[in-house]
Structures are given as C-alpha cells and as structure tokens.
Copies of this chain bind each other. A is one copy, B any other.
Amino acid sequence: MTTPAPAPRAPQSRAEFHERLRRIGAERYHDLHPFHKRLHGGGCTPDEVRAWVVNRWQYQSRIPMKDAAFMSRLDDPQLRRIWRSRIEDHDGGVDEGGGIRRWLALARAVGLDPDYVASGVGVMPATRFAVDAYVRFVRDMPLLDAVAASLTEMFAPRIHAERIEGLLKHYDFADDASLAYFRNRLTEARKDVEFGLTYVLDHADTLEKQDAAAAALSFKTDVLWAQLDALWHGYVEGRIPPGAWQPGQGLLAASAASEVA
C-alpha cells in the first residue's frame, strides 16, 4: 500500500516573496551589528578603523573573483554581458582602476600603506574563512541561489549613505576622496540590485526555490555579520588572533601618516 505523495505547497506570491527577502535584510543585515554602529557613530578608535579597512579589503578584493566564478557558469552570453559590469565596477580599467583601488585610497587616508593592505597579510583568519565561504557558495551552488546571495546589495545603499554621513561627521580622515568607494557604490549597487532582484523573483517559481533563495540571502548576511563579529572580538575586545594585523603595523611613512587624524 503506497501513500500518495503530498501535494506540493504553493509558492509565495511575488509580493510575499519580495517582502520575505526584504525582511531578511531588516533582521539580519550587518548595519544592525554593534561594530557598524560604533564605526559610523564615531566610536571607533583610529586603530579599530584601520583594522576594519585591513579586513574589509579581503571582502572587497574577492568580490571580482566571486563574480568571475559566477560568470564562468553562465552559458547565456547576454547574462554574462550584464554581470560583467560588476567586475568592471570593482576592478576598473588597467590605468584608472575601480572600486578596489578606491578602497586603497581609504587605506591611505587612515594612515595605512596601501601595499600592505593589498597584500592581505594582516587579515584575520575568520575574515578569510567567511569570504572564502561566499566565493565557494557562488561557484558551487545553483545559479538562482548565487544571485540571491548577491541581494544583500538591496540593503547596501542605506548602509553606504549612513556610513558616508557618519564617517564624514566623526573622523578627520573622511573626505570625498577617501570615501569615493562608498559614493560610487550608491549608484553602482542600485543597477545590480534591480537586475538581481528581478532575476530572483522571476526564477524562484516554486516554494522550494524560494526557500533556497531566502536561505542563500540569509547565508550572505551571515558572511557579512561574521566579519564584524571577528573585528569586534579582535580589535574592540583586544583579542587579536595570531598573525593578524597589530596596531602600528603597515603604516604609511611618517610624513604621509601625519596628514591622518
């Protein structure tokens, strides 16, 4: 005697599913993390800001590799053409550079040697593990999940705007040049979000896929949150793991550093 298979549950409506994704951001995005509040509220010491710049570099610098891994799985040329702009935004051209070069301008502004930051030497293992987990996720998981994981960009314009305002208000190093990365992301992220969100809403056409996409987005919020947890533990509580950046390391030569708050 066989029992009948249970009827598949109906997918959420487009609006319900969209709202579900938005709620993940409202509940789990790293703008809720105490380190973020401390940073944009002006509560970070210069060394805590530096630790953030050193570690966040690991994330920034892996984003184009993550996007290339995603593109390497796209057999639709038109989708590749659209996605390629993310790599262009971050890497930029051979001469002018892009987002990651703007990140190094921020490194310089906080008194760090950009070559030291770019070397990745001082990054905490926990940061590396979180970022590597994201790159692997995008390389290995279904395309829908990989796109869904990118949707933290939905919540990014808010955090970037808040960050620019907070940093400008509280830190002497902050000016248009040093914060160019965040300003550019305000517009770059918007076009990426529109595309990614439409893709996810269009392709998550069963409840199973909606669940997987929501889980992917939650996973990505974990990736971001874990990085701020590690920063807090290492540099606010002062339990810096072996081999990670120590205050005083990787600074610009004195003449350049003296310009920095």
A72 touches B75 (CB 8 A): no
A246 within 8 A of B: no
The contact of A68 among B69, B92, B101, by CB within 8 Å, is B69
Min C-beta distance of A151 to chain B, whole Å = 20
Contact of A92 among B65, B72, B81, B100 (CB under 8 A): B81
Q: Is A64 an interface residue (CB 8 A)?
A: yes
A69 CB contact (under 8 Å) in B62, B69, B87: B69
Q: Does A93 contact B (CB under 8 A)?
A: yes
**A40 close to chain B: CB less than 8 A:** no
- A78 at the binding interface (Cβ < 8 Å): yes
Counting CB contacts under 8 A, is A84 at the interface?
yes
Interface string of A52-84 (1 = CB under 8 A from B): 000000000110111011111111011011101
| Chain B proximity mask over A100-126: 1 for CB below 8 Å, otherwise 0 | 110000000000000000001000000
* CB contact between A61 and one of B61, B64, B75 (< 8 Å): that residue: B75
Do A88 and B77 have beta carbons less than 8 Å apart?
no
Residues of B within 8 A of A92 (CB): 81
Known A91-B80, A100-B77; contact A68-B71, beta-carbon cutoff 8 A: yes
Residue from A64, A82, A88, A100 having most chain B Cβ neighbours under 10 A:
A64
Q: A84: which B residues are within 8 A, CB to CB?
A: 84, 87-88, 91
Q: In the complex, A64 Cα to B79 Cα: how many Å?
A: 12
Chain B residue at smallest Cβ distance from A80: B91
Q: How far is the CB of A67 from chain B (nearest CB, A)?
A: 8
**Chain B proximity of A183: nearest CB distance (Å):** 20
List the 7 shortest-distance A-B pairs measured between CB atoms, nearest first.
A69-B72, A68-B71, A68-B72, A68-B68, A81-B94, A65-B72, A81-B91
Could you list 14 A-B pairs, sorted by A, with CB under 8 Å?
Answer: A61-B77, A62-B75, A65-B71, A65-B73, A65-B74, A65-B80, A68-B70, A68-B72, A68-B74, A69-B69, A75-B120, A77-B100, A77-B101, A84-B84
